[in-house]
Amino acid sequence: MTGSSTARRNENQRVVVEKRIAMPEWLSREDRTAAPWTVVEGAAQRGEAFTDLVAHRMQVPVGADETSRCIRAHELMHAKVSPTHIWVPDDVAYISIETMTVAEEFRVNMLVETAGFPVMKFLADGSEKRTGERLAQNNDWNSLVHMTAATVGTKAFAGLISGVKSVRPEWVATLRELGRQMRKMWREAASHGVEHIASTEPWDLATAGWAFTVEIARFIHRVLINETSEGEIPPDADSLKGGTQGVPGKFAPVIELSINRPNRVDGRLGRRRRPTNVGRHPRHLDRLLTDPQRRVFDHRKRGQGGVVLIDQSGSMRLTDGDLWRIIEAAPGCVIIGYSHEPRSQGKPNLWVLADRGQVVDEVPAGNGGNGVDGPALQYALRRRRNGEPMLWVCDGHVTDETDDVHSDLTEECARIVAINHIHQVADVEAAVKALTKAAKGDVLKASAVGPIAQSQAWRSRMT
């Protein structure tokens, strides 16, 4: 991976300067064939080195010192294991590209350390303390979390924490715990070797080793705060301990988010006028000439109600436009969204988006997982009025509070659907069609989709 040395002269003496050139074209992968690379010289400073897997271009320091050597190893590891593009799977669509990127930095750093390079002693450029001070002074918690994740396991981490400590010492414990938990996840994953973590066998739009990066990103996301929520504070260190919180095989409890619904559905949506030939005050005398039935009166009929429960996990995103399409189909309905953040405790996972004509300004983002399907169904049933239809918008994949699938939870939800005559549909489009039919007087029968429809509880009900 290193090349030849070059020499330069001055007037008095001949000085030999060793230069080490990275050779990524020597690396092999399972997901792509080898190709020529262009490698150019760069400084041994943060932000200077990079690897472009699409253009096959790399910039690295070429010095013989240990810091330059570690940086070259880091970039070569990217060339060896990183996917061509940062891919966020649908089930974790709530995770940002930046969070996925720093999670990948951690995976690469750990693989470089495993390969024998002393990243804990030398992988730093001296700017980390100033960076920690600046981010702490700006109260930029999320950037500090990302920087922490990108430097865990390297010398740079100590410098960053030192800078934070001088400005916001109360933040240090959580950042250190983040690092400890990430290292713990690495040790558990690598306990039987790192072949699967470094694998470049194709997996969807990435590689098999990318699965570890996704798990790390999910954990990092737990430490971030919602910057649009006024007053939200960083989590404490204790909340991160035992990074696999949550009981396998059990739904999370409902934690409702108190949410403002300032909008009122327009009367034209909430009430519908129908012409009739019976009434007290004729409003359309012109119909005496144009309408064979002489329907000169108006009859106002309230808009269709009902309860609509919507899975807002990563694979079932809901937009503001989707919400209003449902309201237009059933202006008087209650619309409830839900999504549980895997392994979280105390974080809201259910919210009422519309309550019989009162509507939110903006649909809250989901928390990534399902986790609370069964309790959410029971919550929605308590909001149902006699004779109203109830729709459940979900693809049928229900999960526990760690966001894993368990057949008994699927059976539990199937029983709730069957017994309470819930009309389950796979997406918003199907929900709008069903509500439109209900508004015309059609009865929405119990129905199921996906794993719910394949469950024993559902099949038994239908036979």
Q: What is the pLDDT along the chain (463 residues), one digit of tens a residue?
A: 444 444 444 444 554 456 788 899 999 999 988 889 999 999 998 889 999 999 999 999 999 999 999 999 999 999 999 999 999 987 677 789 999 999 999 999 999 999 999 999 999 999 999 999 999 999 999 999 999 999 999 999 999 999 999 999 999 999 999 999 999 999 988 988 999 999 999 988 999 999 999 989 989 998 998 765 556 788 888 877 755 455 678 999 999 998 999 999 864 433 445 666 666 667 666 766 677 776 766 655 544 679 999 999 876 779 999 999 999 998 889 999 999 988 777 789 999 999 998 999 999 988 888 999 999 999 999 999 887 899 999 999 999 988 888 899 999 999 999 999 999 999 999 999 999 988 888 889 999 999 999 999 998 875 5
- Please tell me the predicted confidence (pLDDT) of residue 434: 93
Rounded distance between C-alpha atoms, residue 34 and residue 72, angstroms? 19
Give backbone dihedrals phi and psi of 14, rounded to 5 degrees, phi first.
Answer: -100, 115
pLDDT digits (tens, 9 = 90+) for 344-373: 777 899 999 999 989 999 999 888 889 999
Q: What is the pTM of this model?
A: 0.58
The Cα-based distances of 273 to 268, 286, 436 in angstroms read 8, 17, 16
Contacts of 242 (CB under 8 A, 6+ apart): none
Residue pair 168/213 in contact (Cβ under 8 Å)? The answer is no
Distance, in Å, from the CA atom of 71 to the CA atom of 65, rounded to the nearest integer, reads 10
Q: If 0-12 CB within 10 Å is exposed, 13-18 middle and 19+ buried, where does residue 260 land?
A: exposed
Closest CA to 363 of 396, 392, 336, 333: 336
CA distance 356 to 335: 9
- Residue 311 contacts residue 373 (beta carbons within 8 Å): yes
Burial of 389 (0-12, 13-18, 19+ CB in 10 A): buried
For the chain, domain boundaries: 6-240, 263-462
What is the pLDDT, as a whole number, of residue 271? 42
- Residue 300: per-residue pLDDT: 52
- Give me the half-sphere count of Cα atoms (radius 13 Å) on the Cβ side of residue 10: 5
What dihedral angle (degrees, nearest 10) is formed by the CA atoms of 223, 227, 233, 235?
-10
Q: Give the pLDDT confidence of 249-301 residue by residue, as tens digits.
A: 899 999 999 899 999 986 443 344 566 666 666 766 676 667 777 676 665 55
Tokens linked to 352? 């009422």
- pLDDT at residue 287, as a whole number: 64
> Distance (Å, rounded) from C-alpha 369 to C-alpha 349?
10
421's CB contacts (< 8 A; 6+ apart) are: 390, 445, 446
Residue 242: which region, alpha, beta or left (left: phi > 0; alpha: psi -120 to 50)? Answer: left
| Closest among 192, 194, 143, 197 to 168, alpha carbons compared | 143
List, in sequence order, every beta strand (DSSP E) within 343-421.
350-355, 358-359, 390-393
Which residue shows structure tokens 């600046």? 134
Q: What is the C-alpha radius of gyration for the chain, rounded to an integer number of angstroms?
A: 29
Position 4 scores a pLDDT of 43
Structure-token match 């470049």, residue found:
200
CA distances from 331 to 290, 352, 371, 432, 435 (A): 31, 14, 29, 12, 10
Count CA atoms within 13 Å of residue 321 on its CB side: 1
Q: What phi and psi values does residue 93 have, to the nearest 5 degrees? A: -60, -15
Tell me which DSSP letter residue 399 carries. -
Cα–Cα distance for residue pair 234/239, rounded to 1 Å? 10
What are the DSSP E strand ranges found in 202-344? Answer: 202-203, 206-207, 263-264, 271-276, 297-302, 307-311, 334-338
Residue 191 confidence (pLDDT): 86
